[in-house]
Structure 1
């Protein structure tokens, strides 16, 4: 009987693990520039590293300056070498504070968004 209970418990643990993985959402793991970083010179791009592959058709990066004015990235794309990385090529940035706002849809269909700030010295 103990063997049956152990088998049932193992099956329940496996099912719980699989279901929580199935409902996981993409998470921003790293960025360049980093959140709250002070950089010099100004970055030429923003790179966002996620834990899941992205759907570029439903993903975007927006840059806002310290006065709240939107700065359009020159190009936003998923990195050809890594489908978990979104890259925005930036125009020349002047000194000041900037806020990166991003949204993405992962291949599992979950939409997530977030933002962080950095400064150009």
Structure 2
């Protein structure tokens, strides 16, 4: 009887470690959906638990990977230094980490760089050129909005997948606990019948 109670106690003590074993993104700079208006020199991702050295990230614009000078892991943080100033536009940080439990996790962070250009116009603009420029600008805004909508939809799918993984881990843990409890009750019940 004492052995059974000890096993049950150990099982219940292990449940929190099963549930919180997977690391998740806590904060980031830049954050999801942020509009960056100043020169960005470093990307910093902070996670809920320590991460392994195998963790990495890519900075992507228009499907092209932009090289980072150095990617390093320090305890709970994944950091990357940006080699040269970023041009205006939409960017995606694609990260892949390995948590303390060895479980790989990946995700994306979408942000936009929109730094004011301090250029003085040297050529006078005719009304026709100005109108053509405004039409091109509105078309590029529509394309950028569609791209952001697609990116946010992909991010939502990624978050949903992470939530499914967390809930399936929780369900598995609860199921194991229920089986152990059922086994203990069944064992105690059969011992009482023998007596």
Query: Per the shorter chain, which TM-score range?
Result: 0.7 to 0.9
Q: Which of 38, 56, 59 is the matching residue for 2:55?
A: 59
Contact 1:42 1:94 in 2 (8 A): no
Unpaired runs of 5+ residues, structure 1, are 1-7
Q: Tell me which residue corresponds to 1:115.
A: 108
Larger relative CO (CA 8 A, sep 6+): 1 or 2? 1
Q: Which of 4, 11, 19 is the matching residue for 2:15?
A: 19
Q: Tell me which residue corresponds to 2:94.
A: 101
> Helix, strand or coil for the counterpart of 1:115?
strand
Cα RMSD of the aligned pairs, angstroms, is: 2.2
CA distance in 2, matches of 1:118, 1:94: 12
TM-score in terms of structure 1 length: 0.79
> Helix, strand or coil for the counterpart of 2:40?
coil
More strand by share: 1
Unpaired runs of 5+ residues, structure 2, are 115-195
More helix by share: 2
Does 1:34 find its partner at 2:26? no
Question: What's the offset of the Cα at 1:38?
Answer: 0.1
TM-score in terms of structure 2 length: 0.51
Aligned positions, number: 109
